[in-house]
Chain A
Amino acid sequence: MSALTVETGAAHAAILGVGAYRPARLVPNSEVVDAIDSSDEWIQQRSGIRTRRIADDSETVISMAVDASRGAVEHAGIDIRQIDCVIVATISHLIQTPSAATAIAHQLGTDQAAAFDISAACAGFCHGVALANDMVRAGSARYALVIGVEKLSDITDPTDRGTGFIFADGAGAVVIGPSETPGIGPVVWGSDGEHYDHIRTPDLRDLVASDQPHMPFLSMKGSEVFRWASFAMAKVAQQALDRAGITVDELDCFIPHQANNRITDTMARAMKLPPTVRIARDIIDAGNTSAASVPLALHRMIEEGDARSGDIALLVAFGAGLSYAAQVVVVP
């Protein structure tokens, strides 16, 4: 029997570039309070959110992802045609098939790339980083683009007091490629399908059959999710640090999924992060952008000098499924 030839990739992989797209329209709390019979103060107190970005008709999942990707490729200093895999994390590409990734790859001009979407909701981007890291090291891709993109305004019920003020739109992307030193630590990931219904959209067949068809709005059990995210995810984040051999004192940046500023606060407290760790707070004026929130927050921290090249950053993302993933990365 003949043995198969196998290939190996780079010894190490790293995030080489980061890009972002933020929709032009900034929506303050004052524009969303009437529909949920609430107040600016209530929203800020419960979530930290002051404003969010909402895409218009011209800003689509595809277009936002393409813009963010161009930024990431430019930052990485490579040619777009060197990208040989495009991974898109999203829950708001509202075409069941084909994937958003193939259209994005085509518009970017890298038609030869493998392209597919992954469905891990708010945790999708960190799942994508884990996949791309392994692909580059195993030799199945040289340069992979990992995109988190959402147009959650399409699937948010503006009258739902639990979600109407939280969700928003945007895209973030990273290029992951070969590196001389380790740039992405081991992933700690998992799922908890017992709580499948905690965050979800309805079955489309039920919507179509209903008297008043509407978009597949997200629903969320806020208190249950808050508890899981704040406490269980702090443990997952700590495990990612431990697996990478990094102590909280060596950590420079903490970039959790921007779900709710109070989840971030509670996690940071539970992990006993020292005050030297810079914590992502993009949610305050960007809202919760699900799969896009971690790369958007990373991009902003780089832009504003809170994350510098070579810094050690802890990423942790969690959401519907329930599903979660965390890893330590080196900031490009």
Chain B
Amino acid sequence: MSTEEIRAALADIVNEVAGIPADDVQLDKSFSDDLDVDSLSMVEVVVEAEEKFGVTIPDDEVKNLKTVGDAVAFIERNRAA
């Protein structure tokens, strides 16, 4: 999957969980500040993303995923591994 494909798939998840338009979910956006995804919704996004991308995102890692770009980069790194 390309970076853009991962971003688009992640945007669908964010849309499904938090009702945010998928087009707003761009790499430079902060989940909490720009997209208004609260910590509990973030957990749901993470669990859905684990399933969709076949990665494991530990609790300790979730707080480092501040922007959509952070999450996409984490997924790219760990899918390749």
Report the minimum CB–CB distance from A209 to chain B (whole Å): 31
Asked whether B28 is an interface residue with its Cβ less than 8 Å from the other chain, the reply is: no
Contact of B38 among A45, A227, A230 (CB under 8 A): A45
Mask of A191-233 contacts with B, CB within 8 angstroms, 1/0: 0000000000000000000000000000000111011001100
Q: Is the CB of A230 within 8 A of B44?
A: yes
Say yes or no for B1: interface residue by CB 8 A criterion: no
State whether A266 touches B59 (Cβ < 8 A). no
Asked if B42 CB lies within 8 Å of chain A CBs, one says: yes
Interface status of B32 (Cβ within 8 A of chain A): no
Chain B nearest CB from A171 CB (Å) reads 28
* Residue on B nearest A269 in the bound complex, by CB: B44
Task: Write out the residue numbers on chain A whose beta carbons fall within 8 Å of the beta carbon of B44.
Answer: 230, 266
Docked CA distance A227–B42 (Å): 10
Number of interface residues, chain A, beta carbon within 8 A? 12
| Beta-carbon contacts under 8 Å, B60-80 to A | 62
Cβ-defined contact, A231 with B47, below 8 A: yes
Bound together, the chains give a CA A262 to CA B62 distance in angstroms of: 19
When distances are taken between beta carbons in the complex, the residues of chain A under 8 Å from B42 are 223
- Bound complex: CA A262 to CA B59 (Å): 18
**Chain A residues near B47 (CB, 8 Å)?**
227, 230-231
Kindly state the separation between the CA atoms of A230 and B62 in the bound complex, as whole angstroms: 16
- Complex Cα distance, B46 from A75, in Å, reads 45
Q: With A and B bound together, what is the CA distance between A46 and B38 in angstroms?
A: 8
B40 contacts chain A at the CB level, 8 A cutoff: yes
B-contact 0/1 string along A117-130, CB 8 Å cutoff = 00000000000000
Scoring A residues 256 to 268 as 1 if CB is less than 8 Å from chain B, else 0, what string do you get?
0000101000100
Q: Which residue of B lies closest to A266 (CB)?
A: B44
Q: Residue B39 contacts which of A222, A260, A266 (CB distance < 8 angstroms)?
A: A222
B40 with A226: CB separation less than 8 A: yes
Q: Which of A42-60 contact B (CB under 8 A)?
A: 45-46
**Chain A residues within an 8 Å CB radius of B43:** 223, 226-227, 230
A300 to chain B, nearest CB (A): 25
How close is B53's CB to chain A, nearest CB, in angstroms?
16
Q: Compute how far the CA of A223 lies from the CA of B44 in the bound complex, rounded to whole angstroms.
A: 10
Q: Closest CB of chain A to B16's CB: distance in Å?
A: 10
Q: Which residues of A contact B62 (CB under 8 A)?
A: 223
Give min CB distance, B12 to chain A, whole Å: 16
A266 to B62, CA, bound (A): 18
Most buried by B among A224, A227, A260, A262: A227
CB interface residues, A 241-273, toward B, < 8 Å: 260, 262, 266
Measured between beta carbons, the chain B residues less than 8 angstroms from A231 are: 47
Q: List 6 A-B contacts (CB under 8 A).
A: A223-B59, A223-B62, A224-B59, A226-B43, A227-B47, A262-B40
Closest A-B pairs by Cβ, 5 of them: A227-B43, A224-B59, A223-B39, A226-B43, A226-B40
Given contacts A223-B59, A227-B59, 4 further A-B contacts (CB under 8 A): A223-B42, A224-B59, A226-B43, A230-B47
